[in-house]
């Protein structure tokens, strides 16, 4: 996308009174609920850790939200990345609370985004109705942020490969006595499966194993009551290995920007996060890309 197209897109969305009015909501995620992310690992000999951008905040569930808020919490963590990124900050100047996200989603529906999802849910504000990948896509699209949904119907064969390839690009490395860690500026990934969602922040691999590093808002909340350890332990990522992935037949991955079935260098870079004028109408319909197929299909909630 050219600089002119980028500037025009930003101006178009900032001048849109409907989008601007979203940020007039008073219910914004409080700073006390946001912890700047830091990653803590058990060092494993010959381990290789690949991490997403550190520009995200760590957000967990609260007691009265557990059981239904995982989609909202993962969306908040994604938005914390967008808020900090200089290109997307004009679109996401704040991170809404759960109630604010519910208002945002209903505002998107009123403007014709995701009519299938709207026909199924109708309303979410002041309810405990959980949301999934399509609702997060819809909120981001309404704000002018492009994202791509990938469907994995054979996750055992493709999911780990795709994520590892995605995070293997454009990296810088640091090495400790036991672990090599690759860092880059790619965002985290929203992963949905069987009524639950988590945030993928990287990949941990050895010579014989691979595991996804995930933040799970609800599991992190309950970890506080099961352990009496340091504060850093509470925000340490959970791991999702090949055997864990086999427990579910289907996964959906939401990736910021435009990506394809096979990640390549430059794909998903920041300039691809912003919706162009030509895409403004098409993105109102939620589509997904099935891994192993070049076809797109309409997605229902």
Catalytic residues: 70, 196, 216
What are the residues whose beta carbons fall under 8 Å from the beta carbon of 289, sequence distance 6 or more? 148, 149, 150, 151, 260, 261, 295, 296
* Gap between the Cα atoms of 57 and 34, Å rounded: 6
Who contacts 238 (Cβ-Cβ below 8 Å, separation ≥6)? 198, 213, 214, 215, 216, 219, 220
Strand, coil or helix: what is 279? helix
Structure-token pair, residue 50: 């690949």
Please choose, from the candidates 8, 58, 51, the residue with its C-alpha nearest in 3D space to the C-alpha of residue 35: 58
């Amino acid at each position: 996308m050219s600089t002119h197209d980028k500037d025009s897109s930003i101006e178009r969305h900032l001048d849109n009174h409907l989008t601007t009015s979203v940020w007039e909501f008073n219910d914004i995620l409080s700073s006390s609920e946001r912890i700047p992310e830091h990653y803590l690992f058990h060092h494993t000999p010959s381990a290789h850790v690949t991490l997403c951008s550190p520009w995200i905040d760590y957000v967990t569930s609260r007691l009265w939200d557990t059981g239904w808020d995982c989609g909202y919490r993962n969306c908040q963590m994604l938005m914390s990345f967008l808020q900090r990124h200089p290109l997307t900050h004009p679109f996401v100047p704040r991170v809404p609370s759960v109630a604010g996200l519910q208002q945002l989603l209903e505002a998107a529906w009123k403007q014709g985004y995701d009519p299938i999802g709207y026909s199924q849910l109708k309303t979410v504000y002041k309810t405990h109705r959980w949301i999934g990948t399509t609702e997060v896509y819809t909120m981001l699209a309404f704000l002018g942020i492009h994202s791509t949904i990938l469907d994995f119907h054979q996750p055992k064969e493709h999911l780990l490969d795709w994520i590892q390839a995605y995070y293997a690009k454009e990296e810088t490395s640091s090495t400790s006595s036991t672990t090599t860690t690759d860092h880059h500026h790619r965002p985290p990934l929203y992963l949905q499966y069987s009524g639950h969602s988590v945030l993928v922040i990287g990949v941990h691999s050895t010579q014989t194993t691979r595991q996804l590093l995930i933040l799970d808002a609800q599991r992190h909340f309950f970890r506080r009551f099961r352990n009496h350890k340091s504060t850093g332990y509470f925000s340490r990522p959970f791991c999702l290995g090949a055997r864990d992935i086999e427990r579910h037949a289907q996964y959906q991955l939401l990736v910021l920007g435009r990506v394809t079935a096979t990640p390549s260098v430059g794909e998903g870079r920041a300039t691809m996060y912003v919706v162009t004028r030509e895409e403004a109408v098409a993105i109102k319909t939620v589509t997904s890309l099935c891994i192993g197929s070049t076809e797109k299909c309409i997605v229902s909630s």
